Structure 1
Amino acid sequence: MLTLAAPAFAQQIALHIEDIAAPTFQASGISAELESSRFTATIKQLSVQGHDWKNVRLTCPAIILERDTIACTQGTLTEEQSWPVRFSYAPGAKQLMLDLSLPAREHWHVEARWGKRWDIAANIDNGKAAHFRTWLPQDMPAPSAGVINGKLNFSGSDTNLLAADMDLRLAGIAFSDTSGLHAGEKISGKVRLTAHPVNRELVWQGEALWDQGEIYWDPLYLTGGARLSARGRLDPQRVTLAQASLHWPAIGDISASGSWDRTSRSLSASSFQGTQLALDPLYRSFALPFLGKTALAKSAASGKMDIAGRFAEGKIQSLDLTLDHAALQDKDGRFALRDVHLKLPWRAQAATSADFGVGGGQVLSLPLGGFTAAIQMQDKKFSTPRLDIPLLGGALGIENFQATSSPQGWRWEFEGGLTPVSMEQLSAALHWPKMHGTLAGVVPRVRYDAGKLTLDGALLIKAFDGTAVIQDLALLDALGPAPRLQANIDMRNLDLDLLTRTFSFGSMQGRIDVSVKGLELSNWKPVAFDGSVRSSPGDYPRKISQRAVQNISSLGGAGAAAAIQRSFLGIFEQFGYSQLGLSCVLKNGVCHMGGIAPAPNGYIIVKGGGIPAITVIGYNPSVSWDELITRLQRVTQGNSTPVVQ
């Protein structure tokens, strides 16, 4: 409705224009003045798609005023900024044409018609993406750079969208949010969408091409090179995705379908499938960003993967996963699995079995042989009755393995044992001095829950012709960047001859007991323990070589070297002893040392016995742990000398 009011004696006309209302466009508080041919109009509030502008001012120096049309060919539109504008408004026909010309060759042409049916059409040339900042929700990253070219067409009835046609080209788009956790740069591509009514539904199809640019969406970092095409239906209750295809050349092709409930705003059903996907870029881009604080943080994967899944009723209902000639390897060489094969058909409501096989691998330089396993699956429970992993001529046996997923994370447990492993092969694999004999053990029930691994009983190991028992073992944050280990260790009747020959320590005959109480490791480095080495009880030969005397004395400190009697030591190659012992209580980086008995200004490490006999005394009661480790690393150089009595 257009009304004119002016005194008979005035050259001025005041206009009142009724409010404009459409489902996506409203204007209210419109007032205007016409003086000669100069026209000025103010809109108190303008709303587009729920976003408001206040006190929008339009100035036209030469208005065209006809029976049912107001037009301007050279006007200025002012809100926070000023832009050249031309427009044509027909109140009776409820039509509006708006043409904006902005700097940098930016041009917007909008035509709108409202009433029982409404239409909005826009042509955009070099449109700045930053203009859309005010149209986006507050929690979405805001565009800050880039241009948009293309066209938009929407039509409908009342609040219902009946047809849509969108064809946009994006170039140099950049966006970010205040947290810095979501950002993009130099993004270019195309977006195409069409929709039309069929049997009271809106049938749509679209395509999006992302050919350049970078996106960081914490913790994911992705680069361009993907095409998505999709088609589906829209009704008042749901959005249906009939088919979607994602083509990512570096990874492969993934298809999906699904349904979104518009009332509950939730995914009611979906399915997806991918065949022969490349594991390397898939693992690097979508898995590693979530593994930054685990032992897998520096790992790499390779091979091919097939995957298919179905989601319904708010839960995953099925998952089929196949790995073919896959591999997982730590870049620091801590572990590796090669030639991995997996066929996993998981179902939420049925018991199934998966086939798993590994061609070979390694853990901390220890080579693993190939093995296979059948994994039983029932909902979120996984188990296997027996798994034997070949290791250095023996095998690590895992029995009754069970794993369960819970809201707090994964829980698993198993028991087993280690059949005799060649010590020679073990020392070669770890680049240690050559050791002799075998290593075997019995593994009690092992439990893992909430990042903590514990033993229910004692771990029994046979080595160096003796036994070792590990109790109260607990490993915390096992897959984290700084795992912590706690344990108590008792070793009995170890053969000194085997030990000293192994580490080039010098020849020693006898047996020893080793006790380590309250052991604590942080990132595999000792931070606390109460440890001791003592001669085992019993009747057996007790001899110590000149080389071993020198190395033992070096652990007792520099005072021993100052008191040496070189002439006496050089006469004999071996000495007798009755007892030996050394202890260390580690606390705050300092080792508080002791021996089998106190001595003047020190402690006895080796007590003489037989002919010839020798006693070794240590003089340093406290030693930095780092210094003690340095001494241990030097003992094979023979550059320390003992006290001889």
Structure 2
Amino acid sequence: MPRPVLSILPLFLACVPIAVQAQSIQARISKVEAAGATLRDVRLMLDWPVDAPDGRLRLRAGDIDAGALGWHFEGVDWRCPLRRETVGGDTRWRCDGPLRAGQGAPLQLSLVLDAATTTATLTGGDARVGLSRTAAAPDATRIDLRRVPAAWIEALVRAGWASARLTGGTLDGDVRITAPDDRPMRVDADLAIAGLALETDDGSIAAGDVDGDLEVRLTLPDDALQARVDGRLRGGELLFGNAYVSLPETPVGIGVDMIRVGEGDWALPRLQWRDGDALRVDGHARLTPDFGIGALALTLASDDTTALPARYLSGWLGPAGVPGLSLSGGFRAGLELKGATLRKADVALRRLDIGDAGGRFRLDRLDGAVRYSASDPVRSAFAWRGGALYGMPFDAAAWSLESGAGLLRLREPVAFSFLGGEIGFESLQLQPPADETGLRMQTELRLDALDIGVLAKSLDWPAFEGTLAGRIPTVRYADNRIDFDGGLSMELFDGRIDVSSLAIERPFGVLPTVTGDLALSALDLHALTGVFGFGSIEGRLHGRIDGLRLVDWNATAFDAELHTEAARGVRQRISQRAVQDISSVGDASFVTTLQGRAIALFDDFGYRGIGISCRLRNAVCRMGGLRSEGNAFTIVEGAGLPRLDVVGFNRDVDWPTLVERLAAAAGGDVAPVIE
């Protein structure tokens, strides 16, 4: 603000000798334009009593507009005692006093003028702005900043970036402003920033607690902006949309050139980022007025990717469900975007290791290249040495790829061993995000003889034994959802479980949801109940579980019906323990043809059939059995002597309570009591 005020003072001070003789002088000027500033409704008053050593000066302006610098003030009022001093035979004028503008807190403005120089100092608290001009270069102004709040230059920033607000931090350094009448205004600044905080009106771009040193060169032709920024940043945080950057304490070199005309796009012909061995970036871009991507070309390189997840990737990794991702090794990459559409990508991998802190997956020693093209066809290949999924290792695999017309495809099938069997990708097609469409993927998957026993042990499940096999003609990923066409078959407990209509929503995000249908065929109940510690039942189990829905791996809905079917050569017997367990879980009791404690003499019983159903909705299980009458349902229908039936008497059961009963029965906490 001092500079616009200075624009009119030399004219007024030329009248001071008259004021000294006349004791007072007043002037009112409707408009003054000088040195890139416009002052309106200007009023100057000077009182200088006869023989007094100094006078009283007051300057008021209804409005001051600093034009291209973006400064605008209303209700400016400066009062000070005006003194005439003689130094080395030369006369100079000095005026020190409070300066007010609008409702803001007053600042202290000190002004010294002589025939050769004009200097001004504006102070407020610990902040100080010093300004100087010389008669030899009247179009040049030098400003010295010391602990100046960043908010003091917000108007200058908003002149080129209307939605930006400086919310914290201080500045030190030198600013040089040149505003010749025949050329654009130029601003050159060498600044040290401390604790800088910035955010846009919509919150999409922000910075917090950033330190650094910057060299800023601005040229402000009519209705345009040209800027060059070079420097080093240390510490703090940056946010650009989903991109979150946590700056290290070691200096990060930056370089940006910006050009903008009117309200048009931003042209960025030079982009540079230098973070040691962690990340080096070069490129150019065109951004829309609201900083959306119009076009972008970048080359990126990292010789040590260890720091990348914490410093640069967390803004994407968290929503993707892998916040604890770890990297080591290196890469080189080139990217070209038009709008939000990827046009070209070329990534070279060098001994890259990828891991998940939760132990869900790991890839070891990726080498090779992945090339993508939205137009002309290209080919590439990469390989990994091995890895693991939930702690279960898989071996090496090599992938041959081709790309063109916006798709990345597998050139030939890939297979690798897993769980004693083999996983095969017969085909693979990937489409990167474009415009409003997210990543899409489609593959044909083959599973051969995967050992379920090894899987159960790795996931701390009961000791299942069997194999998992299947061929899924289409696995599709889109909109954060995986859909499986076809089915999976599991050979379990000497029977078979077929899975169909399988889908997974948010597979790596918050509250992953699994849906599907299961069909059970001829499972050996003796082996099944032995694994779960659920008494002992002999026979073959059949049934379905339709509309299964798991949210965060907890069942929230399904329609289940399980029953036994007689098979040649297979006994149908049920133990006392199993009877008691079924009774406790199904809120049931049993009835026999024998009375009193005589039933305790028998270890097991024959049965004609076992059937149970559950329709789960809203955490309530609607129970059923072989037959249902009113609120009662038959779970076990006995056969022979002693004949024993198990009947449930409460068809609506709280699901969490039912799960607790199942856990207690499987753990052996329910002892048989025969009366």
TM-score, scaled relative to structure 1 = 0.83
Please say if residues 554 and 642 of structure 1, whose CA atoms lie closer than 8 Å, have aligned partners that are also in contact: no
- Specify whether residues 206 and 573 from structure 1 end up closer, same or farther in structure 2 by C-alpha distance, changes over 3 A only: same
Asked if residue 515 in structure 1 is aligned to residue 544 in structure 2, the reply is yes
- Are 2:578 and 1:548 equivalent residues in the alignment? yes
Report the secondary structure of 1:615's partner residue: strand
Q: Paired residue for 2:194?
A: 171
Q: Distance in 1 between matches of 2:19 and 2:172?
A: 49
Per-residue deviation at 1:55? 3.7
Task: Specify the SS of the correspondent of 1:497.
Answer: helix
For the structure 1 residues 569 and 382, does the alpha-carbon distance in structure 2 shift closer, same or farther, using more than 3 Å as the test?
Answer: farther
> Which residue of 338, 343, 346 maps to 1:320?
346
Q: 1:34 aligns with which of 26, 35, 46?
A: 46
Secondary structure (helix, strand or coil) at the match of 1:432 reads: coil
- State the Cα distance separating 1:522 from its structure 2 match: 2.2
Aligned pair count? 631
Q: Could you say if the C-alpha distance between residues 435 and 457 of structure 1 is closer, same or farther in structure 2, counting changes exceeding 3 Å?
A: closer
Q: Does 1:375 align with 2:401?
A: yes
Query: Could you tell me how far apart the structure 2 residues matched to 1:241 and 1:409 are?
Result: 26
State the match for 1:402 in structure 2: 429
Q: Which residue of 2 aligns with 1:469?
A: 498
Cα displacement string for residues 290-337 of structure 1 (whole angstroms, at most 9, x for unaligned residues): 3434432x3322113323325476565432223334344333333333
Which residue of 75, 93, 105 maps to 2:96?
75
Q: 1:437 to 1:377 in 2, by over 3 A?
A: same
Q: 2:167 maps to which residue?
A: 143
CA separation in 2, counterparts of 1:192 and 1:78?
30
Q: Say whether 1:390 aligns with 2:390.
A: no
Distance 1:643 1:618 in 2: 17
Q: Which residue identity lines up with residue 194 of structure 2 in the other structure?
A: A
- 2:233 aligns with 210
- Cα distance in 2 for partners of 1:70, 1:29 equals 30
Work out whether residues 554 and 560 of structure 1, in 8 Å CA contact, stay in contact via their aligned partners in 2.
no
Shift of 1:631: 1.9
| 1:594 aligned onto 2:615 | no
Counterpart amino acid of residue 47 in structure 1: D
The one-letter code matched in structure 2 to 1:210 is L
* Alpha-carbon distance, 1:394 to partner: 0.8
Closer, same or farther: CA 434–359 of 1 in aligned 2, 3 Å: same
Deviation at 1:513, TM superposition (A): 0.8
Provide the secondary structure at the position in 2 that maps to 1:27.
strand
Note the C-alpha offset of 1:23. Answer: 6.4
Q: After superposition, where does 1:62-461 map in structure 2 within 5 Å?
A: 62=82, 64=84, 72-80=93-101, 81-88=106-113, 97-104=118-125, 106-112=127-133, 118-137=139-158, 139-146=163-170, 148-155=171-178, 157-158=180-181, 160-161=183-184, 165-174=188-197, 186-193=209-216, 207-214=230-237, 220=244, 222-225=246-249, 226-230=251-255, 245-249=272-276, 252-258=278-284, 271-296=297-322, 298-311=323-336, 316-384=342-410, 385-405=412-432, 406=434, 407-461=436-490
Matched, 1:615 2:645: yes
1:141 alignment partner, SS class = strand
Q: Post-superposition shift, 1:82?
A: 4.1
SS for the counterpart of 1:499 is: helix
Q: Which residue number corresponds to residue 21 of structure 1? A: 33
Greater shift, 270-279 or 590-599, is seen at: 270-279
Residues 593 and 621, structure 1, Cα contact 8 Å, conserved in 2? yes
Mapping of 1:572-587 within 5 angstroms?
572-587=602-617
After TM superposition, give the deviation of residue 403 of structure 1 in Å: 2.2
Where structure 2 has 5 or more consecutive residues not aligned to the other structure, the ranges are 1-10, 49-54, 220-224
Contact preservation (8 Å) 1:132, 1:143: no
* Other structure's SS at 2:33 match: strand
Q: Distance in 2 between matches of 1:389 and 1:566?
A: 62
Residue 5 of structure 2 corresponds to which residue in structure 1?
none
1:437-472 Cα offsets, whole Å, 9 max, x none, are 333223242223323333444444443333333333
Bigger shift: 179-188 or 286-295?
179-188
Deviation at 1:538, TM superposition (A): 4.1
User: What is aligned with 1:497?
Assistant: 526
8 Å CA contact 1:564, 1:643 repeated in 2: no
Cα distance per residue 1:328-379 (max 9 Å; x no partner)? 4333333333444452133343222333433333434544333332232224
What is the alpha-carbon root mean square deviation over aligned residues? 4.3
Query: How far apart are the structure 2 equivalents of 1:565 and 1:120?
Result: 111
2:591–2:644 Cα contact (<8 Å) kept: no
- AA partner of residue 163 (structure 2): D
Amino acid at match of 1:152: V
8 Å contact kept, 1:543–1:574: no
Letter in structure 1 aligned against 2:37: F
Q: Secondary structure at the match of 1:62?
A: strand
Letter aligned with residue 526 of structure 1: A
Q: Distance in 2 between matches of 1:89 and 1:21?
A: 22
Contact 2:593 2:643 in 1 (8 A): no
In structure 1, give the amino acid aligned to 2:471: V
How much does 1:620 deviate?
3.5
For residues 55 and 639 of structure 1, do their structure 2 counterparts lie closer, same or farther at Cα, with a shift above 3 Å needed? Answer: closer
Tell me: CA distance 1:274–1:304, structure 2 relative to 1, closer, same or farther (3 Å).
farther
Residue 605 of structure 1 pairs with residue 671 of structure 2: no
What's the secondary structure of 2:463's corresponding residue? coil
Change (3 A) 1:161 1:266: farther
Q: Per the alignment, in what secondary structure is the counterpart of residue 413 of structure 2? A: strand
For 1:436 and 1:404, the matched residues in 2 are separated by 39
| Contact 2:385 2:395 survives alignment (8 Å) | yes
Deviates more, 1:455-464 or 1:403-412: 455-464
Give, as a single letter, the amino acid of the residue that structure 2 aligns with 1:118.
Answer: D
Matches of 1:634 and 1:262 in 2, distance apart? 62
- Following the alignment from structure 2 to structure 1, what is the Cα–Cα distance between the partners of residues 668 and 606? 20
Listed one character per residue, the Cα deviations across residues 68-123 of structure 1 (whole Å, up to 9, x for unaligned) are: x9963133252231414113387xxxx97241142445432323579998322212
Residue 481 of structure 1 aligns to a residue whose secondary structure is: coil
- Structure 1 residue aligned with 2:3: none
2: CA distance between counterparts of 1:47 and 1:323? 55
* Conserved? CA contact 1:469–1:491, under 8 Å: yes
**In structure 2, what is the Cα distance between the partners aligned to 1:212 and 1:435?**
52
Q: CA deviation at 1:534?
A: 1.0
Q: Which residue of 2 aligns with 1:199?
A: none
Residues 259-279 of structure 1 deviation map (CA, whole Å, 9 limit, x = unaligned): 669999998876433333443
CA–CA separation in structure 2 for the residues paired with 1:598 and 1:232: 79
Cα distance in structure 1, aligned partners of 2:288 and 2:391: 55
How big is the shift at 1:564?
A: 10
Q: Secondary structure at the match of 1:287?
A: helix
Structure 1: gaps spanning 5 or more residues: 197-201
CA contact (8 A) 1:245 1:253 kept: no
- TM-score scaled to structure 2, two decimals? 0.79
Asked whether the equivalents of residues 31 and 42 of structure 1 are also in contact (C-alpha less than 8 Å), the reply is: yes
Question: 1:627 aligns to what?
Answer: 657
In structure 2, the CA distance between the partners of 1:274 and 1:123, relative to structure 1 (3 Å rule), is same
1:206-250 per-position Cα deviation (integer Å, ceiling 9, x unaligned): 53222344556676252443332548697989998776543324x
Amino acid at match of 2:252: R
